[in-house]
Chain A
Amino acid sequence: DGGITQSPKYLFRKEGQNVTLSCEQNLNHDAMYWYRQDPGQGLRLIYYSQIVNDFQKGDIAEGYSVSREKKESFPLTVTSAQKNPTAFYLCASTPRDRASDEQFFGPGTRLTVL
């Protein structure tokens, strides 16, 4: 079964701790994205990567970091510099050579900082 997995589904951390959210895909997609969603709001882009070893800041990158060492994986680190990290985090991917912009989303990780 091809798809995107995010783990864990729920994550709790103490204030001031860094935390890394996992995103793995076996769709052979080149491009991957991280979005943040706050209650009752739409999605906002944090970081995106169009190819291995390359990534770009999105609209709300401050306090976050990413890496793209493998095509299948795009982990997101929420650092202590992120002032309000409690949110629902969504990872997505798209094949780079496809004309359509259909994005495939993972199930999300709900992060709560205590």
Chain B
Amino acid sequence: DAKTTQPTSMDCAEGRAANLPCNHSTISGNEYVYWYRQIHSQGPQYIIHGLKNNETNEMASLIITEDRKSSTLILPHATLRDTAVYYCIVRGSYTGRRALTFGSGTRLQVQP
């Protein structure tokens, strides 16, 4: 699975959009980009994933660059409850192990 690079921490004002970047320059053609988040002392929660098209769901939007070497997770109207560590993960479609490789992620602090 390709390696990802994320900023260690970010701040965002409540009600504003939070844009979390992720670099995955070694991504290959069949690898998806996944985003999870982990609120303090809880299990990670799936947010969204995509291959090459932009994706949107009720939680967030995922923008993947045309060359697929980077992506941005967008929380359109951040709330205090969005304060968490956000993990960007790249992996291929079904392989034998199917486990996820979590890096250190980005710690997002939403400020009131």
Chain B hits for A105, CB < 8 A: 43-45
Contact pick for A33, options B32, B34, B99, CB 8 Å: B99
B42 with A108: CB separation less than 8 A: yes
A74 → chain B closest CB, angstroms: 13
B43 with A90: CB separation less than 8 A: yes
Chain A hits for B93, CB < 8 A: 99, 101
Chain B hits for A56, CB < 8 A: 97
Say whether chain A's binding surface is mostly helix, strand, loop, or mixed: strand
A-B CB pair tally, cutoff 8 Å: 60
A43 with B100: CB separation less than 8 A: yes
Say whether chain B's binding surface is mostly helix, strand, loop, or mixed: loop
Question: How far apart are the CA atoms of A42 and B36 in the complex, in Å?
Answer: 11
Closest chain A residue, CB of each to CB of B32? A101
Interface string of A87-100 (1 = CB under 8 A from B): 01010101000011
Chain A hits for B45, CB < 8 A: 105
Which of B14-22, B59-67, B69-77, B102-110 forms contacts with chain A?
A: B102-110
Chain A hits for B91, CB < 8 A: 101
Given known pairs A42-B102, A42-B105, the reply for A101 and B42 (CB within 8 Å) is no
A43 with B94: CB separation less than 8 A: no
Given known pairs A101-B34, A101-B94, the reply for A41 and B104 (CB within 8 Å) is yes
Chain B hits for A31, CB < 8 A: 98
Closest chain A residue, CB of each to CB of B102? A42
Chain B hits for A103, CB < 8 A: 44, 46, 100
B8 → chain A closest CB, angstroms: 10
A27 → chain B closest CB, angstroms: 13
Q: A-B pairs with the 3 shortest C-beta distances? A: A105-B43, A42-B102, A43-B102
